Chain A
Amino acid sequence: MASQIPKNNLERYLLPLLLLLVWQGLCYLRIIPSHLLPSPANILFGFKDLLLIGMPPEHLLYKHMLYSLYRVALGFLTAAFLAIPLGLLMGWSARLRRLISPLMEVVRPIPPLAWIPIAILWFGIGIKSAAFIIFLGAFFPILLNTIAGVVSINPIYLETAQTLNAKEKDVFLKVLLPGSLPSIFVGMRIGVGIGWMTLVAAEFTGVKEGYGLGYMIMTARDIQRPDEIMAGMLVIGLIGLLINTGLKACESLIIRWK
């Protein structure tokens, strides 16, 4: 059995490694022109340049990352802070659901990016409008999953609470919130994912100077550095993966009853 574990791991990495080798080979033989798709080695050098020289120069990668993360955190946390209580209330009260749902169903399909012009009009170019766009992307998945979580709670738990004379406050804090927590986490993971994806696009148009991964990539495009574009894309993917893993870890720390 023990010998199977390393072997399986090797198999997991086999295909990506092979792909990288073929890619490198095709670039080396000039079958793929390097101004369209840089080779893996070039991307690695691009990454080094982003890290040490910066894009534009002296705007280092870690600062772009911090700014982007800050915008996402601001938008995401605001969304969670508003969507979870509202979702609990809407899950609890069918009346409130009937009242709000039509409005929600009209606003929800509008892509967050379509809000950029009005966001810039309202908040100007900068952190506020970027955070607002991310807020819109994260808000609805969290809200809908919280509602679904509350609605799917087995009524027997509510009846049990009722026979123990639970007041509304107890019902919310001791039954509805813990009962819908698994679903809330699903919503938060989807929400932060959408927020992160939205961010980069928002920074394409919303940030004209300063820092941000989206802005960094657009600048690299302006001066024709596909290696740095690709390296920037990879960084975005890896950070997204990291955020998701972090939330999953939080989840298994908080939800220990599964």
Chain B
Amino acid sequence: MNLELKGICKTFGNEEKGRILPVLEDIHYTVGEGRFVSIVGLSGCGKTTLLRIIAGLEKATKGEILFGGNKIDYGKNLIGLVFQEYALFPWRTTIQNIQIGLEILGMPKKERLSAAMEYVNAFGLSGFENSYPHELSGGMQQRVAIARTLIVKPRLVLMDEPFGSLDSLTRNELQEFLLQLWEKRRESIIFVTHNVDEAVFLSDEIVVLSKRPARIAKLFKVDAPRPRDPTSQESNAIKRVVLQELAEQKMHQGRTSPQDNFQTTQS
């Protein structure tokens, strides 16, 4: 199923009080079925807002979102969301966190436990199924969070800088893990990131958003064959043009803030 964004606009604030902040302006974009799309842009440009609108956590001021040609039915677990902060329930163990979506669906206890156990094993979490989140490393917590999202079988997975707070080794490990999952399952993925290397390594398409109010500044298709070598000439060539586009956006912005230094590190 394709996700179609049709003229999404978002304005924060109250028009009557005259204090309005336009965040998104006329976003048109289609995410093809099974595609891996990354969104990059200056910090504070509205990437997260766009993701929250698609997830149904916020309403667009204008515009329409279609999924498979219809208005999205948020009651069907078609769209999953993974937060940067993992957002695991601290009062639930690994396996209890993973199975909460099934619990909400009303699946009988035995079935959901065995389903959750499969995810525990597939996600390299065996031995930690009865640990509480604070007993797990950041990388493991994010695995649990991804498993919790995927177990209800969404067709589109939204990820908001999911690896942003991990160290670079764990980050690389989870990137490869995510790709393995995706190659098997083929959900569509929209992946918000600050890290251009990450976007180039993972995605079929990279969307660069403009400064606020965000429009789609440029679209890059990444055709390099998988598995990709992050240090290859091909990867570097894409990286260069994406970074150039971001630098241009930054110039437009006039004022710069220290968070806008894009990572072009490692790998």
Contacts and interface: CB of A to CB of B under 8 A. Distances in A.
Nearest to B58: A159
Interface in A229-258: 255-257
B63 interface: no
Interface stretch (A41-49, A56-64, A84-92, A173-181): A173-181
A165 interface: yes
Interface in A173-197: 174-175, 178-179, 181
Nearest to A182: B91
A165 B89 contact: no
Contacts of B45: none
A159 B57 contact: yes
Nearest to A256: B132
B152 A160 contact: no
Interface string A148-173: 00000010110111111111001000
Given A156-B83, A160-B83, A166 B104 contact: yes
A257 B132 contact: yes
B87 interface: yes
Contacts of B100: 161, 164, 174
Interface residues of A, number: 21
Contacts of B148: 164
Interface string B77-106: 101110101010111100000001101110
Interface of B: 55-57, 74-77, 79-81, 83, 85, 87, 89-92, 100-101, 103-105, 132-134, 148-149, 152
Given A154-B87, A257-B134, 11 more contacts: A156-B85, A159-B57, A160-B87, A163-B57, A164-B152, A165-B105, A170-B103, A174-B103, A179-B89, A257-B90, A257-B133
B104 A163 contact: no
Contacts of B92: 178, 257
A165 B74 contact: yes
5 contacts: A157-B89, A163-B56, A165-B77, A174-B100, A257-B132
A156 B84 CA distance: 11
Given A159-B57, A160-B83, A257-B132, A167 B104 contact: yes
Contacts, number: 60
A178 B152 contact: no
A189 to B, nearest CB: 19
Interface in A122-156: 154, 156
Nearest to B83: A156
Q: Which of B55, B87, B101, B103 has the most CB of A within 10 A?
A: B87
Q: Which of B57, B74, B133, B148 has the most CB of A within 10 A?
A: B57
A159 B55 CA distance: 10
Name the 8 nearest CB pairs between A and B, nearest first.
A178-B91, A164-B101, A257-B132, A163-B81, A156-B87, A160-B87, A257-B91, A170-B104
A139 B197 CA distance: 57
A231 B235 CA distance: 83
Given A156-B87, A181-B91, A165 B134 contact: no
A44 to B, nearest CB: 46
Contacts of A154: 87
A165 B91 contact: no
Contacts of A161: 100, 104
A160 B132 CA distance: 17
